[in-house]
């Protein structure tokens, strides 16, 4: 019998640590490449579907880009009026929205001061402290949304870099397998296979959720007669990258818009009901399809990695925290599988093996 293959834990940990540090230092520069890789990863199954029929990858990718460009052109032509109208509307009304929110907050503050069983000065001070933070957060909301713009600026760069990722296809993986020492090839394929399953399903699921939320909320807001439906739906869809964040953004921005537009709390409540309905629709119809292939992580783990990702890497961390946790989980699964099989804990065996061959 041969000597046992020992998992090269120290070199792997060392390399992993170096890669994590390099990523931490360079994550701003790497952002478009990571987003482009995710973009290519989501689209790759379409290329693979046609590639299985023998078509050249170059032609499939180039043809797909041309088709997407044509579709985008027709969609833009169709929606151009709405986009221009909504942008102008938002530009013209943004100062008024802020002012209206400030006034509403001031009126509510004054009313509450009278109702509180405290001396007026003390009540005013207490409310100012409590509401000040909330008002400040609301005032900062547009600038926080604008902070996402640099990522939207990658809108052209991501498909451009993604084209090359799509063109390369599986050749990168094949290169890694060729580079791997021959006795570890099977382990390397196991690891790559686990990562592929975890990442691919999560990113594709996320893409489906974002698209569904964008489309359903757009038509829902239009049906309710809310101004800037396209922008609100887009913000809600994009922010769905972070679980529940899309719902919160939709209710906050859509509700505020409805309240300003119609001047009644009922209008804002209708918008809240719409987004809660979308959430229920997503939970009952979309998630069961996606969950079959999801990362199967506890909600608290999800939340923890999102907080850590956001703290360390900002927006990029929020997008990639859960998939990165999925990769770590795949690594742990493969290491455990390696350990149990190499130590002989997985004995295999089958029922009826003792019966003679007849």
Partner 1 sequence: MSALKSFKRWFIDPAFSRKKQFLRSLEIFKELRDRDLGHLVQALHSRSYREGEVIFVEGDIGRALFILESGAVELTRPGPGGEAQVLYKLEPGDFFGEMALLESLPRTATATATEKTHLHLLYKSKLDSLLAGEPRIGVTIMSHLARLLSARLRRVTNDMKFIAPKHV
Residues that bind partner 1 (CB under 8 A): 1-2, 4-5, 48, 51-57, 59, 170, 173-174, 177-178, 182-183, 185-187, 189-190, 193-194, 341-342, 346-348, 356-358
Beta-carbon contacts of residue 62 (< 8 Å; ≥ 6 apart): none
Q: What are residue 104's phi and psi, to 5 degrees?
A: -60, -45
CB of 63 to partner 1, least distance (A): 10
Q: What is the C-alpha R_g of the chain? A: 26
- Pick 172 or 225: Cβ nearer partner 1: 172
Distance (Å, rounded) from C-alpha 294 to C-alpha 152?
27
CB of 44 to partner 1, least distance (A): 11
> Distance from CA of residue 188 to its chain's centroid?
27
Is residue 282 within 8 Å of residue 209, measured between CB atoms?
yes
Distance (Å, rounded) from C-alpha 330 to C-alpha 324?
10
- Pick 9 or 353: Cβ nearer partner 1: 353
CB of 43 to partner 1, least distance (A): 16
> Distance from CA of residue 76 to its chain's centroid?
24
Closest CA to 213 of 268, 136, 265, 285: 285
- Pick 55 or 164: Cβ nearer partner 1: 55
- Pick 142 or 169: Cβ nearer partner 1: 169
CB of 54 to partner 1, least distance (A): 5
- Pick 88 or 174: Cβ nearer partner 1: 174
CB of 159 to partner 1, least distance (A): 23
Distance (Å, rounded) from C-alpha 18 to C-alpha 219?
47
């Amino acid at each position: 019998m041969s000597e046992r293959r020992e998992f090269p834990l120290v070199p792997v940990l060392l390399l992993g640590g170096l890669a994590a540090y390099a990523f931490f230092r360079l994550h701003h520069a790497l952002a478009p490449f990571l987003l482009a890789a995710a973009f290519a990863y989501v689209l790759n199954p379409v290329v693979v579907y046609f590639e299985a029929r023998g078509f050249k990858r170059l032609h499939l990718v180039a043809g797909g880009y041309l088709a997407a460009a044509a579709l985008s052109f027709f969609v833009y032509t169709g929606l151009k009026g709405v986009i221009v109208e909504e942008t102008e509307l938002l530009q013209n009304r943004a100062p008024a929205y802020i002012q209206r929110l400030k006034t509403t907050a001031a009126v509510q503050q004054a009313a509450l001061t009278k109702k509180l069983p405290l001396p007026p000065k003390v009540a005013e001070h207490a409310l100012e402290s409590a509401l000040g933070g909330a008002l400040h957060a609301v005032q900062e909301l547009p600038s926080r949304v604008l902070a996402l713009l640099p990522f939207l600026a990658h809108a052209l760069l991501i498909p451009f870099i993604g084209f090359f990722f799509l063109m390369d296809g599986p050749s990168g993986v094949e290169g890694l397998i060729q580079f791997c020492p021959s006795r570890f090839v099977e382990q390397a394929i196991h690891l790559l296979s686990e990562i592929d399953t975890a990442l691919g399903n999560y990113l594709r699921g996320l893409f489906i959720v974002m698209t569904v939320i964008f489309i359903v909320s757009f038509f829902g807001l239009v049906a309710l007669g809310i101004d800037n439906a396209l922008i609100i739906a887009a913000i809600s869809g994009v922010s769905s990258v972070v679980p529940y964040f899309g719902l919160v953004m939709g209710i906050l921005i859509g509700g505020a818009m409805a309240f300003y537009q119609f001047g009644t709390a009922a209008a804002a409540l209708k918008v809240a009901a719409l987004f809660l309905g979308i959430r229920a629709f997503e939970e009952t119809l979309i998630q069961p399809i996606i969950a079959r292939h999801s990362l199967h992580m506890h909600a608290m783990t999800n939340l923890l990695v999102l907080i850590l990702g956001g703290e360390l890497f900002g927006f990029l961390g929020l997008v990639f925290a859960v998939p990165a946790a999925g990769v770590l989980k795949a690594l742990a699964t493969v290491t455990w599988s390696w350990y149990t099989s190499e130590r002989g804990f997985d004995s295999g065996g089958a029922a009826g093996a003792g019966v003679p061959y007849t």
